[in-house]
Structure 1
Amino acid sequence: MTLDLILVLLLLGTAVLMFAINRPPADAVAMLMMLALPFTGVISVQESLVGFSNPNIILIAAMFVIGDALARTGVARSIGDWITRHAGNSRWRLLVMLMLAVGLLGSTMSTTGVVAIFIPIVLRIASQQGLAPGQLMMPMAYAALISGMMTLVATSSNLVVNYELTRTGADGFHFFSFTAFGLPILLVATLYMLLAQRWLRPADSTSARRRHRPNLMQWVERYRLAEREYRVRVRPDSPLLGKTLRELDLTRTTGIRIILIERGVGRSRQLLRRRPKRMLQAGDVLLIDVDLERTQLDLDEMGRRYGVDILPQTGRYFVDKSQAVGMLEVMIPESSRFIGKTVAEAEQLTGYELTVVGMRRASEALEPHGLREQRIQVGDTVLLAGPWKTIRRLQGETGDLIVLNLPRELDEYLPGAKRAPYAVLTLLLVVVLMATGVVANVQAALIGCVLMVFFRCISLEKAYKSIQLKTLVLIVGMMPFALALERTGGVTMAADALTYAVGDAGPYAVMALLFAITVVLGLFIVNTANALLLAPVGLAVAEALGASPYPFAMIIALAASTGFMTPISPVNTMVATAGNYRFVDFIRIGLPLTLLTMAISVLMVPWLLPLY
């Protein structure tokens, strides 16, 4: 083992460790590796940056835009409504139709994207059918993971494996090369989930949320809003008058947080947003959040110090003001820019249009007092209050926030529904172009992006925002490892170790071992980085055995999408809170499905992609 190889392996081990503990974030790890690898002398700076010019990176970015356009035009939501209508009262028919719909739709967009779209759909279906969301969330998530096995562009790990394949001089996979494996796995997984559904958590006592759309009063109780309903009226002699909220800075100086401002009387009464330049006036009624124990204040002292009258608590403020103030329940996805930010910082990013009035983590409501300092995590459920206009606008969002529930007080609204036919036609055109090979895949995807913008399915600004730069940076940053390991002999050494481990057992045993290693490594690092690391090893094993590279590349691509066993993967993290799952639930349900997927893959891949 040379010094160069030792240095590269040390960097690789460091990257895997940081991936496992998720500190720093995966994209930051990739950037650090991209920076560090040239210092080993194995690759140059230009070679470490070459991923930015890779056509597959452009292709992935374009598919993000197409997927987001499908969400904004309501195509996926229409599919959910169609499932509800045709499934009737049959639970097995509902599960089958849901998994097939998710698997097929996910074949043309990112896995996390399709999950973000279908979480609110599943919640609505569960509500209409009187089911616990947990009975449908995991099957939906597993179908989304399997959708990555359906087409070449279904997930970024397929594209990076295909890139490694073409880098060796092979022709690469076609658009539907994966379908022959993904479709049987999806069907088997659907049958398996019909049996395993009984092991998922049954309906609990919160039946009101499932059977009906929630109302504001239910949210007041669930998020313990009545406990923080301190309302005060500003007196004419108050020292708060004549100063902007930024100048007062009550949150920093006293711990008092203004949530809403009510101004005027009678029909002229209105609720104002807490803009930094807003100045308080005599007679304003403030809804505030204050931890009296921490600030060492009591209500009477607070009234004297700030010149305000303390109004009686009713516990129904948000309900009584429902004509002026709306609410919605959202979940924080992996791609959200709010992750790691405090609630206060997140509100600043939204321009103060919405106020965080409650937060739940792992199905438990967080302490209302001190909510402003809480740091937002993936999977958190957040209750927002603000103008109905802003809430309606958020219904089409799937990037920073996933809308879980809207109250009965707001009629359902579909953003951009009139553009849905254009979005569907554009998607079909992209699929046909990719399948026939008339143009390169990246050209077909770019044509789809242009048409989505031309038909106003998505604006140019939203198109840029839909591109998940973190994912692209992760891929680009990890690409140089394959080249570094190849030059230092690390790939050959790993291939020799694998072939030695199975001895004379043959290619089937090697593929089973490759599949298992990929799945186990995927418990700690994201699937794209996983595929980037193991694809060169699989291709080197094929060369050592004198076998075709295609079956070994395919087995790694399929295994990279088999992330059923833990809630560490982004897809499972997103449904863990919404489905109220425990860690053991993913082991219990996911392990048998992983073994089934491995058996099907190891048997079918050499059959359809001959070894010699």
Structure 2
Amino acid sequence: MSSELVQVLALLGVAIAMFISGRPRLDAVALIMIVLLPLTGIIDMNEALAGFSDPNIVLVAALFVLGEGLVRTGVAQHVGDWLVKHGGSSETRLLALLMLAVGLMGSFMSSTAVVAIFIPIVIRIAQQTGVAAGQLLMPVSVAGLISGMMTLVATTPNLIVNSELMRHGAEGFGFFTITPIGVPVLLLAIAYMAVARRRLRGESGSTSGGRPSLNDWVDQYKLHDRAFRLAVQADSPLVGRSLEGLGLGPASDAHVIALERQHTLRREVLRVSADTEIRAGDILLLDVESKAFDVPALCERYALHKLPISGAYFTDQSRDVGMAEAVIPVDSTLVDTTGSESRLLAQHGLTVVGLRRGRVTHAHGLESARLKVGDTLLLVGPWQAIRALQTDGHDLVGLSLPQEGGALLAAPRRAPHAVFCLLLVIGLMLSGAVPNVQAAIAGCLLMGLFRCIDLDSAYRAIHWRSLILIIGMLPFSLALQRTGGIDLAADGLLALVGSYGIRPVLACLFVLCSLIGLVIANTATAVLMAPVALALAQHLDASPYPFAMMVALAASAGFMTPISSPVNTLVSTAGNYSFGDFVKIGLPLAVMVGAVSVLLVPWLLPP
């Protein structure tokens, strides 16, 4: 082993250690490696930055935009509503429909986004049918992972493997090359989860129907008697001052969630921030979390007049004031913070009034509650603020709206146009008339032309952290090839099982990828293992396609731990799962998927 290879392996070990610890975050680790790898002299800075010009990076970015168009136009939400309506009373039918829907949508959208969208849908289904949500959420994450086995563009590792094939002079995979393997795997997973889900704990949901209403959330989160409307009188010392001077910020026991202001001909409900100036005649909409908070004393001190409220928790003002549930994803800046510390929520003028962790809801002590991945937040504020949040970043995903907010979608009448754009992109990719990246960019431009998405939303939809992770890991592949690390790994695998035939080699490759995927992201796994797979094929004088396909399949088979994939991490909290739940459910499934892959891949792609 050369000294140069030792340097590369040492840097790779440092990167993996940082991935496991989660500090710093993944994209920062990738940028650190871009800086450090050229210092070894094995690659230069231009080669370290070459990923920024990779067509597959642009393709991944374009796919994020296409997926956002489906969300903004309500296509994703309509699928969830259809499931709630047609799921029926059969638990097995519900599970099959859920997994099929997630698998289908995940074939063309980010699986993390799809699973985030379906978490509140599953909670609603559990409430409607009495099925334990914990018995449905893990099947959803399994289907989200398997959706990566459905099409070429379903997940980033597929594109990375395909790019490596083309870099070695092969033609690459077709759009549906992986589908004949993904469909049987999905059906197998549905049958397995129909039985295995019963080993998952979880309480049955309460009976309720359809999409929740504002009143349903008021009951669920116990928000009764927390709402007050306080009119600012002309002699109030607050007139001309900012809300910050009132001392009712996010970290207190009471929060001003919105402000009513009378204009010349109409009354308007405004979002608020710390510097919102109070005027005489304004009406403060106050949420009081603690029963110990003295509202009469507040009114007396600041010359405020208490007004009557006819509905429970501002539901009588549902045309102006709304609620939304949102899920905290893996890479959210809200993780390990409190809602009161969120600049995102403060910027939009939204207040956290409820928290659901697993099947337990919390409505008190939220100002000090540390947020975790998979937590569901109940947000309240003006509808305009909720709409703005729908298009802003990735700190909160899976925004679920009540019945009253059904018309809040950014472009609800553009759903047919969004579906048309998606089908056109798929058709262009299948025809081969233009490169895949060109087809995807054309689809994004059409989404903009049809007003399914605007440019600002398109840029925000791109998951830049994921792209930086890919770009930062790509130089490792080149460095390992130049230092002989790829050949060393291939020789080791061949020495272990090479004499037993192609299928044992493929099985060993699947196992190795799965083990690596336990501790690092599946994207990084694909970057590191795709060159090893192609080197194996070259040493065996065999076709590269089955070996590349095994890497792609293994990258989407991370069922075994809550940190194997972002979708697992998302549902681990929402479903109140333990580490052991993932092992006892995921390990047998991973073994079965590996067996099916080893059986089908050489048959579909002869070596």
Deviations 1:272-320 (Å, cap 9, x if unpaired)?
Answer: 5433333346786673668899xxxx95998699657898999997257
- Aligned mates of 2:462, 2:192 — CA distance in 1: 34
Determine if the alignment matches structure 1 residue 344 to structure 2 residue 344: no
Q: Show the counterpart of 1:586.
A: 582
The residue aligned with 2:497 is: 502
Matches within 5 A, 1:406-417: 406-407=401-402, 415-417=410-412
1:355-379 superposed Cα distances (whole Å, 9 cap, x missing partner): 122334444456834x446554421
Question: Does the alignment pair 1:551 with 2:546?
Answer: yes
Distance 1:264 1:419, change over 3 A: closer
Residue aligning to 2:446:
451
**2:232–2:305 Cα contact (<8 Å) kept:** no
**Do 1:148 and 1:155's aligned partners in 2 also have CA atoms closer than 8 Å?**
yes
Cα 1:90–1:501 change in 2 (3 A) is same
Question: Residues 52 and 301 from structure 1, CA distance in 2 versus in 1: closer, same or farther, beyond 3 angstroms?
Answer: same
Of 430, 433, 448, 1:435 maps to 430
Asked whether the equivalents of residues 42 and 479 of structure 2 are also in contact (C-alpha less than 8 Å), the reply is yes
SS of 1:327 mapped into structure 2: strand
Q: Which residue of 1 aligns with 2:524?
A: 529
Whole-angstrom CA distance in 1 between matches of 2:393 and 2:345: 16
User: How many Å separate the matches in 1 of 2:45 and 2:267?
Assistant: 63
Q: Which of 224, 241, 244 matches 1:243?
A: 241
Q: 1:238 to 1:174 in 2, by over 3 A?
A: same
Q: Which residue of 1 aligns with 2:480?
A: 485
Partners of 2:58 and 2:315 lie apart in 1 by 50
8 Å Cα contact 2:233/2:305 also seen in 1: no
Q: Is the 8 A contact 1:120 1:405 kept in 2?
A: yes
Q: Structure 1 residue 433: deviation in Å?
A: 1.3
Name 2:560's counterpart in structure 1: 565
What residue is the counterpart of 1:182 in the other structure?
A: 182
CA distance in 2 between counterparts of 1:460 and 1:264 reads: 32
**Of 463-472 and 320-329, the range deviating more from structure 2:** 320-329
Which residue of 444, 457, 461 maps to 2:456?
A: 461
Match of 1:357 in 2: 353
- Partner deviation per Cα, 1:561-609 (whole Å, 9 max, x = no partner): 0011122221112223333333322222211111110000111112222
SS of residue matched to 1:329 = strand
The count of aligned residue pairs is 602
Asked if the contact 1:260/1:272 (under 8 Å) is kept, the reply is: no
Give the secondary-structure state (helix, strand or coil) at the position aligned to 1:95: helix
Query: Measured at CA, do residues 69 and 57 of structure 1 come closer, stay the same or move farther in structure 2, by a change above 3 Å?
Result: same
Cα offset, 1:155, TM superposition: 0.5
Question: What letter matches 1:454 in structure 2?
Answer: L
Q: Does 1:328 align with 2:324?
A: yes
**Residue identity opposite 2:438 in structure 1:** Q
Aligned to 2:380: 385
Residues 130-141 of structure 1 aligned to structure 2 (within 5 Å): 130-141=130-141
Q: Deviations over 1:79-120 (max 9, x none)?
A: 334445554333333322332232223222222132233334
Verify: 1:78 aligned to 2:59, yes or no: no
Aligned mates of 2:337, 2:94 — CA distance in 1: 38
CA distance in 1, matches of 2:289, 2:413: 45
Q: Distance in 1 between matches of 2:84 and 2:133?
A: 14
Say whether 1:58 aligns with 2:54: no
Please name the residue that 1:160 is paired with.
160
CA distance in 1, matches of 2:285, 2:416: 47
Query: Separation in 2 of the partners of 1:29 and 1:202?
Result: 37
One-letter amino acid of the counterpart of residue 464, structure 2: L
Residue matched to 2:571: 575
Moved more, 29-38 or 216-225: 216-225
The farther-off stretch of 405-414 and 371-380 is 405-414
Q: Alpha-carbon deviation of 1:326?
A: 2.4
Structure 1 stretch 474-483 or stretch 378-387: which is displaced more?
378-387
Name the SS for the 1:357 alignment partner.
strand
Q: What is the TM-score when the length of structure 2 is the normalising length?
A: 0.87
Asked if the contact 2:255/2:351 (under 8 Å) is kept, the reply is no
One-letter code aligned to 1:259: V
Secondary structure, in 3 states, of the residue corresponding to 1:480? helix
Letter in 1 for 2:99: M
The corresponding residue for 2:256 is: 259
Distance 1:559 1:431 in 2: 24
SS of match in other structure, 2:325: strand
* 1:512 and 1:602 in contact (8 A); partners too: yes
- Structure 2 residue aligned with 1:277, among 257, 275, 278? 275
Deviation at 1:480?
0.1
**C-alpha distance in structure 1 between counterparts of 2:245 and 2:142, whole Å:** 51
Residue 17 of structure 1 is matched in structure 2 by 17
TM superposition shift of 1:508: 1.9
Q: Output the aligned Cα RMSD.
A: 3.6
Structure 1: how far apart are the matches of 2:29 and 2:132? 38
Query: Percent identical across equivalent pairs?
Result: 50
Q: How far 1:413 moved relative to its partner?
A: 5.5
Q: Secondary structure at 2:9's aligned position in 1?
A: helix
The structure-2 alpha-carbon separation of the partners of 1:507 and 1:84, relative to structure 1 and needing over 3 Å to count, comes to: same
1:306-355, CA deviations, whole angstroms, 9 ceiling, x for partnerless residues?
Answer: 65789899999725765453222221223545456652343555534311
Distance in 1, Cα, partners of 2:231 & 2:72: 42
Query: In the TM superposition, what whole-angstrom CA distance separates every residue of 1:462-489 from its partner, at most 9, and x where no partner exists?
Result: 1111111111111001000000111111
- Counterpart Cα distance in 2 of 1:596 and 1:538: 21
Deviation of 1:134 after TM superposition, in Å, equals: 2.6
Q: 1:239 to 1:291 in 2, by over 3 A?
A: farther
2:257 touches 2:350 (CA, 8 Å); kept in 1? no
How far apart are residue 178 of structure 1 and its match? 0.8
Deviations 1:165-201 (A, max 9, x none): 2222222212121112111111211221222233233
In the other structure, the counterpart of 1:418 is 413
Partner Cα distance (2:407, 2:441) in 1: 33
Structure 2 residue ranges without an equivalent (≥5): none
Moved more, 529-538 or 374-383: 374-383
- TM-score between the two structures when normalised by the length of structure 1: 0.87
Which AA in structure 2 matches 1:600? Answer: V
